[in-house]
Amino acid sequence: MRKGVLIVLLACILFLPIISSASIDSEIQKITSYAEDYETGNINYPKLLVYTSSAREKMNDFLGATDKEMGGILKQQQIQSVLGEPAERTKWVWVEGWEHEVKLDNDVPNWRKIIFDGKKIQIRLNAYPSILVKTDFKTEEEKAEFQEKAFKELDKEQFTEEDVIYRLNIEISFKKPQDQLNIAGRINEIQTLAQEFNSDPSNENAEELAKAGVDAEKLFWNYFDQSSQKCDSLMSSIFGSENKRETQNLLVQEIDFYSGENFQAIARLEMCDDCESNWINLDMWLDTRGKIKLPKDVKDSGKQYNLEEYASMDNEDFQSEIAVLLDQIKESLNEEDFGSALSDINKLRILNNAWNEKANNVWKELDQVYRLEEQSMTDEERQKLNEDYGWIKREQERRQEERDLMKQNYEERKQFYLDLFSGYDKKEFYYTQIQFEKRLVEEFVEFGQEICDNNQDDNQDGNIDCSDSQCGGKFCGKQTVSVTEENEISEKTIDLYCIAGVCQAKEEIVEEQVIVCGNHICESNETKENCAEDCSTCQVYNALNCSGKVIFSGVDSNNCPLEPICIEESSSCTVNEDCVKPLCGEVECIEGRCELTELTECTEAQCNEGGKKVLRCNTGEELVNSICENGMWRDLEV
């Protein structure tokens, strides 16, 4: 008997997550339906807020949230069971009641998931970490006194990830109209300003160009945030796949350089082993989470370095100077002298960039060595070198030696930084970086212009056609290819471009998309057969003057929508049967109006909001005969 009870209990435990997950999905579907109603004008924004808030409360119920009067409190495991893997992790957590953040020893997850992406709005389901302390203050004076005391004694309080709670939030953001996100127009504007600056490099033209660049960057991030395209597809649509550069694999370290009571200094080290220019990027910033006001006028801020100032320094000098600067930064942070720390951080950036440039500019030294060798040749040796095209081999040897020296310098700098930060807590990760470069203005100073489709080294820099960096994204030839269209094979000539150093056809990125009929866009994976509503020419109907909800009455044999109908929201009646019974009460027809007469225990919803029942006719038409409103089916008497 005990064994039987145990089996029943285990079965209940195993099925609970499935039921909870299905219930959550149902509420998310409701939110999607409400969002679609808002975009089509069936409901206004206040109604959308009310409906989504109700859906959030139900999700909290399904997840087993506590303290619902405080918005519903959940733990990490409850959130993860629904939202899956977190978007990111952080050590900074908001303390409710103290009204500021604290830094934990270990990072905790937060979630940010898009559940609706329409033309007007985007809806996200969020869950951010926080810690709850006393909040039941009787007066504002009591609250202010508590917060002041808590802030002074902050270092005495040790919170852990066990103290972290979550609240499920629904975030609705409005999209900017597409005409305000004209990326191509902004790029053309920058090109015009760049050409003006090139012909007249005045301070005024430089400021105009810099301002346009900053504005374009902000616009791009808005465009990127609103787009549902994958990153590489989006970049190709903006810059063109022919302007794609070599894919690079980077090693990145985010280093916890120094932690204070209310701030953190984070260093970021980026290294690329297979990049053409072996640069190492080193940056550092202070994260105060708004608790500390950092000085604005910082010494050496925005200063550009002059390589001549560092011409006499060798690798040991750079290493020693960088180590000294890091010690000075740490000492300034320990004394909370943020002005001095920020000034030294700027010096650190300048010093690292100067070391990068000097380590990569080995060609100057090699040119001098080879020039001296040529000067020491006899006339006979020089004549033999020219007759045998020996200068080509000699140039190839020089360039190979240049690459070897650059690589050697890079490995030495890389090992220095890895050893320098070896004792710090850090996050280390690898990622693939895809770069796009669209040249707006070109001017050839050091070498002449390279023609990219003649198989010659026009500017005599040792690089032919696509091997020359000038040719990135440029036309390099044509190619005849076989194409299959409607089961017929034919030949066509296509243009080739220099892409990542190779003469090749432009890449066409095709994304696998879920077929969604009804968005009036015949997408690449849609046809008249599988989505005639989008890919057929359908009748366009005039807007209806309707105080209720507008829906299409069905679809025809081509999946085109039938004439729209207006479903009036009316509470008038003649008998009780005319009134729609709510889920949580009894309703009667009193003096010609449907009135709620009694609250009862809520019954289970019959359907998901926005659902429809259809009748399939012999003619191929499908007519909507019922829609789901407030969890109940409403008969349309079709």
CB atoms within 10 A of CB 80: 16
If you average pLDDT over each of 256-265, 384-393, 482-491, 548-557, which comes out highest?
256-265
DSSP track, 215-230:
HHHHHHHHHHHH--S-
Angle between the N-to-C axes of helices 183-199 and 203-226, in degrees from 0 to 180, rounded to the nearest 10: 160
CA 414 – CA 281 distance, rounded (Å): 10
Strand partners, 598: 586
Residue 449: per-residue pLDDT = 79
* Per-residue pLDDT, 443: 62
Share of the chain above pLDDT 90, in %: 11
Strand partners, 497: 475, 504
Q: How far does the chain reach from its first CA to its final CA, in angstroms? A: 55
For 345-364, give one letter per residue: b (16+ CB within 10 A) or e: bbbbbbbbbbbbebbbebee
Burial class (CB in 10 A: 0-12, 13-18, 19+), 138: exposed
- Count Cα atoms within 13 angstroms, Cβ side, for 537: 0
> Residue 84 is encoded by which pair of tokens?
């899956």
Q: DSSP string spanning 422-461?
A: TTS-EEEEEEEE--B---S----SSS-PPPTTSSS-TT-S
CA neighbor of 106 nearest in space, from 136, 83, 84, 129 = 129
Structure tokens that stand for 296 in this block: 């604005």
Position 287 pLDDT exceeds 90: no
Does position 496 have pLDDT exceeding 50, yes or no? yes
pLDDT in tens, 435-448: 787 877 766 555 56
Per the CB < 8 A criterion, the answer to whether 298 and 339 are in contact is yes
Mean pLDDT for the stretch of residues 491-517: 68
What number of other Cβ atoms are within 10 A of residue 193's Cβ? 20
pLDDT of residue 348: 93
Report pLDDT digits (tens) over 187-235. 888 888 888 888 888 888 888 888 888 888 788 777 777 776 677 777 8
pLDDT of residue 282: 93
Question: 0.75 cut: is pTM over it?
Answer: no
Total Cβ atoms within 10 A of residue 99: 11
Question: What is the mean predicted confidence (pLDDT) over 51-70?
Answer: 84
User: Greater confidence, 234 or 509?
Assistant: 234
Question: Is residue 571 within 8 Å of residue 592, measured between CB atoms?
Answer: no
| pLDDT band at residue 146 under the 50/70/90 scheme | low
Mean local confidence (pLDDT), 226-253: 78
Helices 203-226 and 231-239, packing angle to 10 deg: 140
Asked if the model's pLDDT at residue 71 lies above 80, the reply is: no
User: CA-CA distance, 513 to 522, in Å (whole number)?
Assistant: 12
> Is residue 39 over pLDDT 80?
yes
Cα separation, 272 vs 476, in Å, equals 28
Most confident option among 6-15, 517-526, 591-600, 605-614: 591-600
The answer to whether 475 and 493 have CB atoms below 8 angstroms apart is no
pLDDT greater than 50 at residue 284? yes
CA distances from 625 to 257, 309, 511, 550 (A): 66, 82, 36, 14
Q: Is the dihedral of CA 525, 530, 531, 536 positive or negative?
A: positive
pLDDT band at 603 (very low <50, low <70, confident <90, very high): low
